[in-house]
C-alpha cells in the first residue's frame, strides 16, 4: 500500500493547524502510520530540499523550515501521494482553490518564501526518500 510523507510546516504548526490537517487526512480515509513533532535540523532540510538547492527561494525556505517545530506524518492508503496533494491544493496559497488546505487556510503574507502550511511527497520515489529522512526507524 502506498505511503506519503506529510509535514505541517512551521507556519501551520504555529497557527495550531496540525489537528485540522490531520482531521482532513483522516476524513479523506487515509491511515496515520507515524506522527512526530520535531524541529527540523539543517541536515534533514538539506536532504529534503536537495532538488531546490540554488533556487532563489532555497535559503528563505530552509530558514523558514528551521524556524520551529513541524508535525511530521506518514500516511497510508491507495493513491495517497496524489490524493494528499489534491487535498493540499496549489503551492501558491493565493491560487489554491477553496476546499483545499492551502486554499481554505493559507494566504500570501508578503514574504520571500511561500508559507503554505503543508508539504506532501510528490512521487513514490520522493516518498521513500522523505520517510527515511523524517522516520529513519520506518526504513
Ligand atoms: P511541497 O514540496 O512543500 O509540498 P510543492 O511541491 O507544492 O511544495 P515545491 O515546488 O516543491 O512546491 O517547493 C517547495 C516549497 O518551496 C513550497 O512548498 C514553498 O514553500 C516554497 N516555494 C516554492 N516555490 C516558491 C517560490 N516561487 N517562491 C517562494 N517560495 C516558493
90-134 pLDDT tens trace: 999 999 999 999 999 999 999 999 999 999 999 999 999 999 999
From residue 25, give the alpha-carbon distance in Å to each of 32, 100, 105, 110.
Answer: 8, 11, 15, 28
Residue 75 corresponds to which cell in the numbers above?
500516511
Annotated binding-site residues read 9, 57, 85, 91, 102, 116
From residue 89, give the alpha-carbon distance in Å to each of 12, 53, 115.
Answer: 15, 23, 13
Q: Is the ipTM of this complex over 0.85?
A: yes
> Ligand 1: which of 10, 91, 108, 113 to mutate, judged by most atoms within 8 Å of the beta carbon?
91
Protein residue whose Cα sits closest to atom 10 of ligand 1:
91
pTM to 2 decimal places:
0.96
Q: Domains of the chain, with CATH numbers?
A: 3-138 (3.30.70.141)
CB-based pocket (< 6 A), ligand 1 = 57, 61, 91, 113-114, 116, 119-120, 122
Distance from residue 132's CA to the centre of ligand 1 (Å): 20
Amino acid at each position: 500500500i502506498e505511503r506519503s510523507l506529510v509535514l505541517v510546516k512551521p507556519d501551520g504548526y504555529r497557527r495550531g493547524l496540525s489537528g485540522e490537517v490531520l482531521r482532513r487526512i483522516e476524513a479523506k480515509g487515509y491511515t496515520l502510520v507515524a506522527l512526530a513533532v520535531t524541529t527540523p535540523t539543517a541536515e534533514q532540510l538539506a536532504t529534503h530540499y536537495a532538488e531546490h538547492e540554488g533556487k532563489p527561494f532555497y535559503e528563505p525556505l530552509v530558514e523558514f523550515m528551521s524556524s520551529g517545530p513541524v508535525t511530521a506524518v506518514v500516511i497510508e492508503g491507495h493513491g495517497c501521494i496524489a490524493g494528499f496533494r489534491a487535498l493540499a491544493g496549489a503551492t501558491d496559497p493565493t491560487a489554491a482553490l477553496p476546499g483545499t488546505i492551502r486554499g481554505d487556510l493559507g494566504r500570501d503574507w508578503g514574504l520571500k518564501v511561500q508559507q503554505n502550511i503543508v508539504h506532501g511527497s510528490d512521487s513514490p520515489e520522493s516518498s521513500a526518500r522523505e520517510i527515511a529522512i523524517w522516520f529513519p526507524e520506518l526504513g
